[in-house]
A and B are shown apart, each in its own frame.
Chain A
């Protein structure tokens, strides 16, 4: 990549005034570094996965409203986690976390277990239980 061709597209970094460093060649073909504000193909790839996450969140919200899953499932998506990550944050086996996705099981959870989930999501137990905050 030549230095003049280092892309300066508007991207997710621009809003935060961040620039990333890339390696590029100068007019003599020698390597140097340049700062880039963003590159369109990357921006699209990133917004693609953010869209994906938002879809998953919306879906989980719907499922909670329908009483199909517990709020844990929704907050897991909001925090961009999956089952493996969540289970290691709360320190429980995956099958137990999966079981807590069931609304009936969730309703019977004690405060100690709920606190683990609340800590993992950075919210309070009340927020976790109150499906209106969703």
Chain B
């Protein structure tokens, strides 16, 4: 049993699934568009939550939010279901496949057998599409992979019912109603406004102020935690910023691509310039990652090195502050 579905590779799993499912339903929305309208760009620093024994830093909003925001801003109807029993979850999925509905799933990464071992961590906010089923396997379109792949029935049960933070509880979702005409312009403006609000939020751990906070903390890390831990924290931060799924530079390049597309749709020349500026900021994030990697590669614990990258981070934060203020003006 196989539904009609075309796989497109994307940088980030959630945008990718959303974009692929919508394309399949006849709404041609690119990955950057989904990311921008869904206000995916974010920054939050949560020192009191530890992920892999390091403070949690996220460059994006909570899982599920991007697609939900896209749906509400474009007036699409998405159905989401969670299950407490494995057999009910399977029944619902099989029913969908029978009705030719490719279905998005939230899954845990740890048991994904087609991922390289090094990437299999207990991270539960991954997304993929199931588009068919055979006697032994489910046919999987994982948007971060170049090609489609498969999981056995048992493996799919395991990833759907992975445990821990953000446990997916078998969550599946699919569009049930897509209007024939959508108002992209107003959705884009809403998306941009939301992102500007988030990034300029008057909260110390969020957005631009969050980045500045991290920059202050980095200076203290080697003294407070010792070199080894400080290096580990830094490495984790770079992984969050650059690992598969961000499209590079902590999502900045995807966002710049979105602004470029938006400038055409809104016929707004200023957005094109801002897209270029965002690209440069993204390049600075890449430079930051290179500098940080030098520190944890050499295991040098010169306090100076930490101060240097903290300065670099601060300058990025200052540039982003100016950037988002300009962006807010450009669409108002």
- A12-B116 contact in complex given A1-B248, A18-B146, C-beta closer than 8 Å: yes
Decide yes or no whether A10 CB sits under 8 A from chain B.
no
User: Once the chains bind, are B122 and A85 in contact (CB under 8 Å)?
Assistant: yes
Q: Interface of chain A, helix or strand or loop or mixed?
A: mixed
A55 to chain B, nearest CB (A): 10
Picked from B122, B231, B239, B276, the residue with its CB within 8 Å of the CB of A80 is B122
Decide yes or no whether A78 CB sits under 8 A from chain B.
no
The total of chain A residues at the interface (CB under 8 A) is 37
Picked from B122, B146, B242, B254, the residue with its CB within 8 Å of the CB of A42 is B242
Interface of chain B residues 40 through 60 with chain A (CB within 8 A): 52-53
Decide yes or no whether B32 CB sits under 8 A from chain A.
yes
The total of chain B residues at the interface (CB under 8 A) is 50
- A12-B242 contact in complex given A21-B247, A35-B146, C-beta closer than 8 Å: no
Instruction: Give CA–CA (A103, B251) in the complex, Å.
Output: 46
Q: Across the interface, which residues of A come within 8 angstroms of B9, CB to CB?
A: 21
Picked from B120, B163, B283, the residue with its CB within 8 Å of the CB of A88 is B163
Picked from B122, B238, B256, the residue with its CB within 8 Å of the CB of A81 is B122
Q: Across the interface, which residues of B come within 8 angstroms of A45, CB to CB?
A: 235-236, 238-239, 242, 293, 296
Instruction: Give CA–CA (A49, B276) in the complex, Å.
Output: 34
B86 to chain A, nearest CB (A): 13
- A88-B239 contact in complex given A1-B253, A1-B279, C-beta closer than 8 Å: no
Q: Across the interface, which residues of A come within 8 angstroms of B279, CB to CB?
A: 1, 25
Closest to B147 in A: A18
Q: Mark A residues whose CB is within 8 Å of B.
A: 1, 12-13, 15-16, 18-25, 29-31, 33, 35, 39-42, 44-46, 48-50, 52, 79-82, 84-85, 88-89
